[in-house]
């Protein structure tokens, strides 16, 4: 499935100009056939890029600057093939999936953890402990922080 700029604007809740800017700066990548194809050709985006747009929209709302937004998009894009099944299940709400972003002085790290809605309670407790560890393991470092994002809420527009 492909999405237009207008579709991404509706899905993310971002302003059209913001989504255009993300595309122009490479935070989201249009299909090669439609990128800079000239007047009258509208950019089209893959499902992966629509997912990425929904994720980075949150960070844009938090006033993350474009270079960092582009870096976050690239990190999420690179991890997406490995978590695709979980992301698709988050979209359909079969699974609860969290994205943990660790902002460390030397770099930004990203992790995805989750469990099926019908998993036993001990599995859910294990996920909670993993989230807690990932969110706090680096906080003794200067200039560090963590963001925990429930992907389900940010990807619901793709369902």
pTM, entire model:
0.90
Angle between helices 16-24 and 66-91 (to 10 degrees): 110
Q: Are strands 44-46 and 2-4 parallel, antiparallel or unpaired?
A: antiparallel
Q: How far apart, in whole angstroms, are the C-alpha atoms of residue 110 and residue 45?
A: 23
- C-beta of residue 97 within 8 angstroms of C-beta of residue 152: yes
Domain that includes residue 43, residue range: 2-158
Q: What is the pLDDT of residue 154?
A: 96
The 8-class DSSP code of residue 74 comes to: H
Rounded distance, CA 90 to CA 74, Å? 20
End-to-end CA distance of the chain: 12
Return the half-sphere exposure (C-beta side, CA atoms, 13 A cut-off) of residue 156.
6
* pLDDT value of residue 91: 97
CATH number at residue 9: 1.10.1660.10
Question: pLDDT tens digits for the chain (159 residues)?
Answer: 899 999 999 999 999 999 999 999 999 999 987 666 555 567 899 999 999 999 999 999 999 999 999 999 999 999 999 999 999 999 999 999 999 999 887 789 999 999 999 999 998 999 999 999 988 888 788 888 899 999 999 999 999
Q: How many domains does the chain have?
A: 1
Strand, helix or coil for residue 136? helix
Query: How high is the pLDDT of residue 144?
Result: 86
């Amino acid at each position: 499935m492909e999405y237009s700029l207008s579709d991404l604007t509706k899905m993310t809740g971002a302003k059209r100009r913001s989504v255009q800017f993300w595309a122009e700066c490479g935070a989201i990548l249009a299909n090669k056939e439609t990128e800079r194809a000239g007047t009258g050709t509208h950019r089209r985006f893959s499902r992966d890029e629509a997912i990425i747009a929904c994720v980075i929209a949150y960070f844009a709302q938090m006033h993350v600057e474009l270079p960092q937004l582009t870096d976050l998009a690239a990190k999420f894009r690179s991890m997406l093939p490995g978590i695709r099944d979980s992301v698709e299940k988050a979209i359909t709400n079969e699974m609860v999936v969290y994205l943990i972003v660790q902002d460390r002085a030397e770099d930004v790290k990203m992790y995805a953890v989750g469990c099926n809605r019908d998993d036993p309670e001990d599995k859910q407790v294990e996920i909670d402990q993993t989230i807690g560890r990932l969110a706090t393991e680096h906080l003794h470092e200067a200039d560090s922080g963590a963001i925990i994002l429930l992907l389900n809420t940010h990807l619901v527009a793709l369902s």
